[in-house]
Every structure is written in structure tokens, then in C-alpha cells.
Structure 1
Amino acid sequence: MPAHSPLAYDVFVADPIAQNVTDLVPNGDRRMFSPLSVTLVHGDQDAVLVDPPLTSAQAEAVGDWVEATGKNLTHIFATHGHGDHWFTAGVLAERFGARVVASAGTIAEMHRNVSLRPHFWDKLFPGQIPDAPVTAVTVPGNRLTLEGHDLIIVEVGHSDTDETSVLHVPDLELVVAGDVIYNGVHQYLAESRDGGRDAWREAITVVEGLRPRRIVTGHKNKELDDDAARAVAETRLYLDTTDELLGKHEDALGFFHAMLERFPERLNPGALWGGAVALYA
């Protein structure tokens, strides 16, 4: 076997799940959580999992998917601290004997999300999320090695939350981008006030500077491909349109409907509505 066996990647997209919320979205939809993308970067024998999902049921499905590959899972990486990208890391780490890793900033945000669990996550998904102590550790130089290939953790600052990062796989011309980039799903805007969207644009520019051909986004429409240029352009357009329409509408409902008119094909308008309410609070 050559010293550097070829790498590949696969993506598991967990379908949207219902939130424990009785109020409907203004367009009549039930409140749902966006689809979640889980990425497996692998060589001949070993693999690294990026952004394990939210619920125990999702983790079981992802675990069975990983097991079916026959790969040895060495690490589980979380791009950022939102619980939907790491709350099942411990369950999967125990199942496969893997190590959970993240940037220092993400680890701090993980602790913040644990403190929010009783008031937010567990209310939305009662009884569905496993115990999730923060077990992630940093790695020297923010760098992992997979069968001789570098996997580089790139910290990009604020995107749809603070202290986010991406995983750059140069030999695949791939970035696993978490929530820095979106792909066919309404973007989470609730934490984008007070300069947050400008910071998010800076994070997008960092990702663009890595010159990927493919980007796996944390929330994607599974019918869409991973074309990097398209996903970057569409994510940036969504933020620019947000700024434009915030200046034209005096309330959350007007903004929501205007955004829906601009982006009718994006999945999960409930995510847009949640952001609209926060932006106009």
C-alpha cells in the first residue's frame, strides 16, 4: 500500500425533524429543525467524522452508516458549538473508540450550549438528546493526519454563531464548512445582529481563500451537489439580501415574507422565521 492512500468523502444528511412547538410558521409550516449534514472523510482503513448530529436516533443511524463502511473511526470533529453539530459526539466516540476534537474557541462554545440545554435544546427535543458532557480536546497546530494526509482545522471567527471553524482537506480540494456556508437551506440569522453579518462575510472570505472545489455545508438540501463556488455565492447573497430587506421592512413578518419571495426554493422557512423574530426583537 502506498504511504499516502487516496482520500474520499461521503455525506449523511439527516432529514428535518419536528420541534416541540405548537405555533406554526407564518406561512403555515410546522416548526422543524433543518436537515443536518454529517461528513465522513476516509482513506483505505481510517476515517474522521465531522459534525455528529443532534438526537440519539440520528446518532444511531449515523453510527450504522459509519459501521457499514468498515472504516476505523479515529476522530470526531465539531466545527462549532451549536448542539446540533456535536451533542451526540460522546455516544459515537464510545461506540467507535474515537477521540472528539475541536478548536479551543469551539470548546468554549460547547460549554455555553450545555448551559443552554434545559432552556432551549431540551425544550425543543424533549427526551431525544443524549447526555453530552464536553469531552472535546484541541489538537497540536489544529491539524489531524489521516493516512498521511493533512486535515486542517481553520478557525474563522463568527459565522452563524461565535468561534466557528472549518475542516480543510487540501488533497480533496474540500472544505467541510459547518454553518459558515449553507446549501439550499434558510440560514440561521438569530445571532447575526451587531455586526454579525459582516463578520460572517469575513468568515466566508476565509473559506473562499482556501480555494475548495467542493464544500460540504452543515445544513444542505440533499438534492444539491457540493459545488463550492455556487454555495459560497448563494450564502453571501442571502446575507446581502438580509441587509437589503431589513432596511425596507419595519417588522419581522414583512421581512419574513420578503425573504421567502426572494428564496422560495430554500428548505425550512421556520429557521428564517426564528431569525426574523430575533432580528426585530
Structure 2
Amino acid sequence: MTIRYDVFVADPVPLDVSEPVPNGDRRAFSPLSITLISGERDAVLIDPPLTRAQAEQVGAWVEASGKRLTHIFATHGHGDHWFTAGVLAERFGAEVVASAGTIKQMHHNVAIRAGFWDRLLPGQIPDAPVTATAPAGNLLLLEGHELRIVEVGHSDTDDTSVLHVPDLDLVVAGDVVYNGVHQYLVESADGGRDRWREAIAAVEALHPRLIVAGHKDKALDDDAGRALAQTREYLDTADELLSRHTTALGFFGGMLERFPTRLNPGALWGGAVALYS
């Protein structure tokens, strides 16, 4: 029996924020990677998206695969990686799973939803009660193939995990690894970037050949070595420029100069404002 993976990249969604990013861009959520790991009959979906419209697109994609969806897994608690899990679970009769730490962060994101998520995307996010459970031993089986939930601690938020699929030499990394998209630095102060590097090292220790980043430029491949190195480089550059610039705007401009091709400068600007506040 063989398994495979496919990735659906949901396009950026404009935010309900009138003020543009300093470079003139409109504020938007970063592109989202949704992964389907499938066998001959069954499949597991990783990191369902944020809005009802995205869930409709992903649902049609899953349906077109012809597979029976058994589980929906969320790598971490940020709402853009699980708020539509319930909608899709009901559609396909699937079970929602996550690590215990991620479930705790899910509850936190529900608590801040009205003041954060719904303010940015009013009326676009479905009801999203926390229904996830932690599977025994952090292990899922897909037609006999092991899908291992590996808890890696802090990355761009607390209590994150990745899904290791040894038979594919694959890690579905959520927001531990980024691929051609500006990284979310809002929660990276007070040693957060050092802990993020530890999470990257934990993924590297799994020796993947392929990594699906939670936010990726759909034009880029899933080469693990490149994605790991570039995610580290971004954090190292942030440390360097934070020590050199006294304002959020100076830091923002310096990072854009170093990473001119990364998508969604708005995510960078949000991090800059938080780090200098």
C-alpha cells in the first residue's frame, strides 16, 4: 500500500483594515497551506483554513480526491489553521484531532476571537467550538502508515506541533517552517525566536526530505533543506536588524530589503509594530 500527499494553497484574504502597510500594500492574511495525505481509500487533512469560503474550496478539493476523510489534524492553535475544522468534519464525518498543547491554544484563540479574528474578517469565519481530542500516543494510522504528531514547543506561537510521515520523508510543519512568506513575529519577543530555533532543530532532527510549510508561496517546492535554512535565516536577520534599528519602520524597511520576494509584507509589519511597542 502506498500513500501520497497533496497541498492546496488558499490565496491571501484581505483584512478589514483601512490603513495600508507602509509599503502601500493592503493588509491580508498570508496564503494558507492545507495538506491531504491519502492512501488507497482514506485520507487525513492537515490544517483546515480560516473562512467559510476557503472551507468550501477545500471541501470541493477533498471531495474530488475520492477519498474517505477520517481525521482532520491541526498543527497549532492559531485560528487560521483550524477554525473551519468543524465545518469540514461535519461535511465528511471526520474526527478532529490535535496535541494537548494545541487544544489549550485553541481555547485561547476562541477567547480572543471577537477582539481579533472577527474584527479582521467580520462575518467570514464560521462558529468554531473546540472539538479536537488528542489521539493516544500522538499517533494516527492511515491504512497502516504511521502519522506521528511531534510536539515542538514555541514557534510563531506556543504549544506547536508538526506531523511526521516517515513513509513519505515528509513533515507537515505548520508555522514552525515558512516557505517564501514573511514570518509572523508578533509572539517572538522575550526569547521566542530562540525557542523557535529549537523547534526548527526538532523538525530537522526528523531528517525530512520534504516539508509543507503552513504559509507557502505556491510557486515554490517543498524542499526541506531550503525551507529550514531560509526560516532560520529570517529569524537571524530579525535579530540583527532589531539590534540596529530604533523604530518599527526602520526594522520593516530593513527586512524588506533583505527579503524582497517574500509574500505578504503586512505580516512583517504586524510583527514590527508588536516588537517595538
Normalised by the length of structure 2, the TM-score is 1.00
How far apart, in 2, do the equivalents of 1:160 and 1:258 lie?
20
Q: How does 1:134-149 map to 2 (within 5 A)?
A: 134-149=130-145
Secondary structure of the corresponding residue to residue 83 of structure 2: coil
Cα deviations by residue, 1:50-83 (Å, 9 ceiling, x for unpaired): 0000000000100000000100000000000000
What is the root-mean-square deviation in Å for CA atoms of aligned residues? 0.3
Shift of 1:127: 0.3
How far apart, in 2, do the equivalents of 1:28 and 1:269 lie?
10
Q: Which residue does the alignment assign to 2:71?
A: 75
Q: Which residue does the alignment assign to 2:86?
A: 90
Aligned to 1:240, which of 213, 227, 236?
236
The number of residue pairs the alignment matches comes to 277
Q: Which residue does the alignment assign to 1:123?
A: 119
Shift of 1:34: 0.3
Q: Which residue does the alignment assign to 1:60?
A: 56
Shift of 1:132: 0.1
Matched, 1:214 2:210: yes
Q: Which residue does the alignment assign to 2:36?
A: 40
Q: Which residue does the alignment assign to 1:249?
A: 245
Shift of 1:262: 0.1
Aligned to 1:103, which of 99, 105, 108?
99
Q: Which residue does the alignment assign to 1:265?
A: 261
Shift of 1:228: 0.2
Q: Which residue does the alignment assign to 1:200?
A: 196
Cα deviations by residue, 1:40-59 (Å, 9 ceiling, x for unpaired): 00001000000000000000
Matched, 1:22 2:4: no
Q: Which residue does the alignment assign to 1:182?
A: 178
How far apart, in 2, do the equivalents of 1:200 and 1:271 lie?
17
Secondary structure of the corresponding residue to residue 118 of structure 1: coil
Equivalent position amino acid for 2:27 in 1 = R
What is the identity percentage for the equivalent residue pairs of Structure 1 and Structure 2?
A: 75
Secondary structure of the corresponding residue to residue 177 of structure 2: coil
Equivalent position amino acid for 1:213 in 2 = R
Q: Which residue does the alignment assign to 1:277?
A: 273
Equivalent position amino acid for 2:206 in 1 = L
Equivalent position amino acid for 1:246 in 2 = L
How far apart, in 2, do the equivalents of 1:228 and 1:268 lie?
22
How far apart, in 2, do the equivalents of 1:208 and 1:176 lie?
12
Secondary structure of the corresponding residue to residue 114 of structure 2: helix
How far apart, in 1, do the equivalents of 2:85 and 2:38 lie?
18
Secondary structure of the corresponding residue to residue 17 of structure 1: coil
Equivalent position amino acid for 1:280 in 2 = Y
Structure 2 portions without partners, runs of 5+: none
Shift of 1:223: 0.2
How far apart, in 2, do the equivalents of 1:255 and 1:174 lie?
34
Shift of 1:171: 0.2
Shift of 1:123: 0.4
Structure 1 portions without partners, runs of 5+: none
Shift of 1:141: 0.4
Shift of 1:234: 0.1
How far apart, in 2, do the equivalents of 1:141 and 1:154 lie?
10
